C-alpha cells in the first residue's frame, strides 16, 4: 500500500514566530486527519529548528524546501542535507518549479541533491511538471518523462522507496487554476508507467505521486479520488491550518 501524503510548502512566507504558530495550529488540528495520511510541513531554513521542536513526537513530519548540491565546505549561503537531517528534517522538497525557473536548478544538480539527501537519511519530494507553453504545445508528457528519466533513473529501486514524486503543472501553481482531476490523473498514470518502465510494476505501484497546483479544500476530494493521485503538495492553502487540514481530510 503506497503512502497517502499531504505536504505543505510554505515557500518564503511567514516570520519565524508566525511559522511556529502555524505549525502549532497544524499539530493541534492533525487529529482530524485519518491516521493513514502522512502530514508534512516544509518550511524555510530559518524555521526548521523551532518548528522541529513543535512537531517532535507528533504525527507531523518536517521537511526543507531545498538542499545544497554539495556535501559541505566553502559554499556561502548554502544548507547541506546533513544540516537538514541534524535540524530534525525527515524530508526535503527538491526540483520545485520555482527553483528550476528562478535559481537555475537543473536536472543534473537535482541528481546530486537527491543523492546527498538520501545519503543523509532524508526522503525526497521530487517535483516535476510542465509550464503553460509546454502544455499548450502538447509536450507535457515529454517534459515530465524527461524530468523523471534525468533524475529518478539515476537511483536504485531501494532508493526509490525514499522518493515521493510531486506532479506540479507550473501553470496551476499559485494561479488559482487547478488541473482537472482527469488532466492530473492522466499525467500521474503516465508518470507511474514511466517509473514502471525502469523499476518494474511492483516498485511503481509503491511510489506516492502527489498533485500540486492550487489544491484547496474545495477541489482536493475530487483529485484525491483518482487512482494514481496519492495526495497533494500544497502551497498557498498550507499557510492556513484550517485549509491545510481541510485538504488532508479529503481522502
> Does residue 215 bind ligand PEP (CB under 6 A)?
yes
Nearest-angstrom CA–CA distance, 108 and 34: 38
96 is catalytic: yes
3-state secondary structure 83-102: HHHHHCCCEEEECCHHHHHH
Q: How far is the CB of 233 from ligand PEP (least distance, A)?
A: 5
> Does residue 233 bind ligand PEP (CB under 6 A)?
yes
Binder to ligand PEP among 30, 66, 214, 250 (CB under 6 A)? 214
> Does residue 212 bind ligand PEP (CB under 6 A)?
yes
Residues in contact with ligand PEP, total (CB under 6 A)? 13
Residue closer to ligand PEP, measured from CB, 63 or 80: 63
> Does residue 235 bind ligand PEP (CB under 6 A)?
yes
Q: Which residue has the cell 543523509?
A: 120
162 is catalytic: no
Lookup: cell for 130: 510542465
DSSP state for residue 73 in the 8-state scheme: S
Residue closer to ligand PEP, measured from CB, 19 or 213: 213
Q: Are strands 163-167 and 209-211 parallel, antiparallel or unpaired?
A: parallel
**Of 105, 168, 185, 188, which residue is the catalytic one?**
168
Q: How many CA atoms lie within 13 A of 124 on its CB side?
A: 28
Residue closer to ligand PEP, measured from CB, 27 or 173: 173
> Does residue 30 bind ligand PEP (CB under 6 A)?
no
The C-alpha angle with vertex 186 and arms to 155 and 105, in degrees rounded to 5, equals: 45
> Does residue 236 bind ligand PEP (CB under 6 A)?
yes
Lookup: cell for 72: 559541505
Q: How far is the CB of 239 from ligand PEP (least distance, A)?
A: 9
Binder to ligand PEP among 17, 121, 174, 200 (CB under 6 A)? 174
3-state helix, strand, coil in the chain (%, to 5): 50, 15, 35
3-state secondary structure (DSSP) of residue 125: strand
> Does residue 213 bind ligand PEP (CB under 6 A)?
yes
Residue closer to ligand PEP, measured from CB, 196 or 249: 249
> Does residue 173 bind ligand PEP (CB under 6 A)?
yes
Q: Count Cβ atoms within 10 A of the Cβ of residue 203 and give its class: 0-12 exposed, 13-18 middle, 19 or more buried.
A: middle
Nearest-angstrom CA–CA distance, 225 and 237: 19
3-state secondary structure (DSSP) of residue 198: helix
> Does residue 168 bind ligand PEP (CB under 6 A)?
yes
Interacting residue ranges for ligand PEP, rule: CB under 6 A: 9, 168, 173-174, 212-215, 233-237
- For the annotated catalytic residues, the residue numbers are 96, 168
Amino acid at each position: 500500500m503506497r503512502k497517502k501524503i499531504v505536504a505543505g510548502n510554505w515557500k518564503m512566507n511567514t516570520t519565524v514566530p508566525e511559522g511556529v504558530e502555524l505549525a502549532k495550529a497544524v499539530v493541534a488540528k492533525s487529529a482530524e486527519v485519518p491516521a493513514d495520511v502522512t502530514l508534512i510541513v516544509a518550511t524555510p531554513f530559518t524555521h526548521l529548528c523551532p518548528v522541529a521542536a513543535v512537531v517532535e513526537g507528533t504525527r507531523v513530519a518536517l521537511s526543507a524546501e531545498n538542499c545544497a548540491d554539495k556535501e559541505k565546505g566553502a559554499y556561502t549561503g548554502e544548507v547541506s542535507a546533513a544540516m537538514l537531517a541534524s535540524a530534525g528534517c525527515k524530508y526535503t522538497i527538491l526540483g520545485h518549479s520555482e527553483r528550476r525557473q528562478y535559481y537555475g536548478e537543473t536536472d543534473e544538480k537535482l541528481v546530486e541533491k537527491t543523492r546527498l539527501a538520501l545519503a543523509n537519511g532524508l526522503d525526497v519530494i521530487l517535483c516535476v511538471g510542465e509550464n503553460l507553453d509546454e502544455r499548450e504545445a502538447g509536450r507535457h508528457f515529454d517534459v515530465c518523462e524527461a524530468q523523471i528519466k534525468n533524475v529518478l533513473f539515476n537511483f536504485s529501486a531501494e532508493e526509490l522507496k525514499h522518493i515521493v514524486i510531486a506532479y506540479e503543472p507550473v501553470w496551476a501553481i499559485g494561479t488559482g487554476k487547478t488541473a482537472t482531476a482527469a488532466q492530473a490523473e492522466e499525467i500521474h498514470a503516465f508518470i507511474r508507467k514511466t517509473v514502471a518502465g525502469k523499476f518494474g510494476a511492483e516498485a511503481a505501484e509503491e511510489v506516492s505521486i502527489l498533485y500540486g497546483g492550487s489544491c484547496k479544500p474545495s477541489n482536493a476530494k475530487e483529485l484525491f479520488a483518482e487512482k494514481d493521485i496519492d495526495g497533494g503538495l500544497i502551497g498557498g492553502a498550507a499557510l492556513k491550518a484550517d485549509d491545510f487540514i481541510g485538504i488532508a481530510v479529503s481522502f
